[in-house]
Structure 1
């Protein structure tokens, strides 16, 4: 049995969490990553089994414009600080998954500059997707229109070798897997070339592809990743509760069942790229969303701060992610008291999921369905166990979870 069958992630964006300067022209190096050490017992008490970390490697600004993937970002500290975090996680039984930005690098990456300086015959040129025949001179092709993000040449051998070396390096230093940022923007055959070599050295590693749209099972089959981000379910959870249209949720869960025939999706109601669930739905709606997350199949993650009811709206502007990527206090003792009830709800529902580990591969079926009231049965893969979940949005969002005998295991009523 793989360790991932029991994984529940606490998703942390380290640059924000640790208070690192993101847009300072000359940021001060500091061991800020060590701030996470004071939060590991909190993560254990929350009930999660590991940290799903955002970027920790040397970059220009937000972490996704990499300058050196073999070096910890000086704004976060050193390799020793990373090693100490790994050791502290190991001592508590926590796993670590790293964020691999392998679609692109920062435009100031030293090898990009060298390739442009030395031309197409240089050793560096083959790593990047550069239009050498552009009328205005050699021009790097960029990621989704962002001039600061230069694409790798995924068709060539250098990019595959580069990504393999980066992945293997950090798995050897204690990481347990990789989130593949913007995996959807890279041809699946690239991952299929890279992952077997990495798995040969680290057969227990887990690979999560960031995929937003499209045919999830086809991408998993073609790429060889273990899982992808289940954005379809994320959208259906919050919009069905917000719009009081639970038919949308039922439709998405039927799609989710089909995905589970092929792989176990990575599920969430919040992450570093989207508006906080408490801002979208309010506190009661956020609880209902969490209840769905924790009672359907998948490998769930809780975005750090959601368990305290943090709010924050993502905006399409410079700095538009700041509100959803805030700095955390030095320790949990400094959290505001108003988040305690939300924290207890998270502990209860994560605990319920851990007591029913079959939920990871469970499928759902509707028992009754109306616009504002939905009862679904979530059943184990072998059919031997089930729970019934009732969501009622008639007045405010209420949730009841019952076992097979009809006894209430958990309820949230206003």
Structure 2
């Protein structure tokens, strides 16, 4: 296995983490991304091997309404600040993956406005998905009903050229890969045209597609991405623990085994788009969810703050992401003490994962199953080493992890 499959990501939403104003029209430029420099040792001590960053490109508000993908958002700093982050990550052995938005742009993107003004003959018209016969005049087709987000035309070769240029630009500056935002919303054939061209100059780069639903394996096969976001398992972990229905988790792990035969999914129990796991399950439940995450196959990511039992509810309204994308202190010294127990559990369970790297591609076998009790074996391929995991929800969420000799590895005595 290469570095990609052995990665354990600390997932950070930079605009929120660094305290950048999200909806202020006249936001003051500042090198806020440098706040991350004070957290890199914390990431290493947590056990992470890399940073999975949210969007850092120049945008209008939340980062996914990009106006210039070749420029760092002024609210975060400039290219020199990102270069310094790359260097600091390298010095600690941390990889760095950026969040690429290639499905849409901000509806006020200057090139789009010029295209709409100049008409179909404009040289950039092919990049944007425009309805030239719309009532009232030409109008961009929007992303999933969001009037502020204008779709790109992924059937036009110029859009593929654009994506290749953007990805290569930042890979040349030292980043290690890309999370492809809303990859599910784009024909996989687009990625199949783009990614081989990027890999030609950066063969070691890693590409993670955001895929919420659908046929994960078919998407990987047809698009050429290395991995996709395993939302099926995410949902099964939290809802099976919350509802005391471990049959759901068993079903999801059986499905997960099938995915692992084709690719290594990105696994998680929290990210920048969902309610915090500690809100859903409480601190004990969040640790149980983490124990599952760390003992099944996949490339796990920990959403920054989950390791401190941060809480927050995702709401479907303007500002509904604010609670799950908070500002962090300048350094870890500013963290509240009440998260220490959950943080220690994260260090221990991530450490267990790193001492058993074969878990990245391990499949699971059911040992016993009842509504509130479940035991499975996570085993390396071809009858290799294994760990036995037992979950008990009868009184409070609890999990025990033992090795082949029966020695209990978790919880620590």
Is the TM value for this pair above 0.5?
Answer: yes
Partner SS for 2:399: strand
Indicate if the aligned counterparts of 1:399 and 1:412 stay in contact, CA closer than 8 A.
no
Unaligned runs of 5+ in 2: none
Match of 2:381 in 1: 381
> Quick one: distance in 1 between partners of 2:344 and 2:383?
30
> Quick one: distance in 2 between partners of 1:90 and 1:301?
19
Match of 2:266 in 1: 266
Q: CA RMSD in A?
A: 0.8
Match of 1:403 in 2: 403
Match of 1:324 in 2: 324
Which digits, 9 at most, give the CA deviation of each residue in 1:120-150, with x for residues without a partner?
Answer: 0001211000000112100100000001100
Which digits, 9 at most, give the CA deviation of each residue in 1:342-395, with x for residues without a partner?
Answer: 000000000000000000000001100000000000000232100000100000
> Quick one: distance in 2 between partners of 1:382 and 1:14?
41
Match of 1:179 in 2: 179
- The answer to whether residue 87 in structure 2 is matched with residue 87 in structure 1 is yes
Partner SS for 2:381: coil
Which digits, 9 at most, give the CA deviation of each residue in 1:45-89, with x for residues without a partner?
Answer: 000000000000000000000000000000000100000000000
Match of 1:75 in 2: 75
Which digits, 9 at most, give the CA deviation of each residue in 1:275-327, with x for residues without a partner?
Answer: 00000001111111000000000000000000000000000110000000000
Match of 1:102 in 2: 102
> Quick one: distance in 1 between partners of 2:117 and 2:80?
34
> Quick one: distance in 1 between partners of 2:30 and 2:165?
27
Give the total of aligned pairs.
413
Match of 1:239 in 2: 239
> Quick one: distance in 2 between partners of 1:131 and 1:165?
26
- The answer to whether residue 170 in structure 2 is matched with residue 170 in structure 1 is yes
Match of 1:64 in 2: 64
Match of 2:24 in 1: 24
Partner SS for 2:236: helix
Structure 1 residue 408 displacement after superposition: 0.2
5 Å-filtered alignment, 1:12-411, equals 12-411=12-411
Partner SS for 1:4: coil
> Quick one: distance in 2 between partners of 1:327 and 1:393?
34
Structure 1 residue 157 displacement after superposition: 0.7
Match of 2:3 in 1: 3
Residues 394/89 of structure 1: CA separation in 2 closer, same or farther (3 Å cut): same
> Quick one: distance in 2 between partners of 1:381 and 1:70?
42
Runs of 4+ aligned structure 1 residues displaced above 6 Å come to: none
> Quick one: distance in 2 between partners of 1:372 and 1:318?
38
> Quick one: distance in 1 between partners of 2:334 and 2:190?
45
Structure 1 residue 267 displacement after superposition: 0.2
> Quick one: distance in 2 between partners of 1:384 and 1:118?
64
Partner SS for 1:10: strand
Structure 1 residue 412 displacement after superposition: 7.4
Indicate if the aligned counterparts of 1:400 and 1:412 stay in contact, CA closer than 8 A.
no
> Quick one: distance in 2 between partners of 1:69 and 1:2?
29
Partner SS for 2:390: strand
Bigger Cα displacement from structure 2, 127-136 vs 350-359 = 127-136
Partner SS for 1:389: strand
Partner SS for 1:399: strand
Indicate if the aligned counterparts of 1:398 and 1:412 stay in contact, CA closer than 8 A.
no
Indicate if the aligned counterparts of 1:227 and 1:265 stay in contact, CA closer than 8 A.
yes
> Quick one: distance in 1 between partners of 2:400 and 2:3?
29
Bigger Cα displacement from structure 2, 131-140 vs 255-264 = 131-140
Partner SS for 2:297: coil
> Quick one: distance in 2 between partners of 1:383 and 1:55?
41
> Quick one: distance in 2 between partners of 1:408 and 1:36?
36
Relative to the length of structure 2, the TM-score reads 0.99
Structure 1 residue 252 displacement after superposition: 0.1
Structure 1 residue 117 displacement after superposition: 1.0
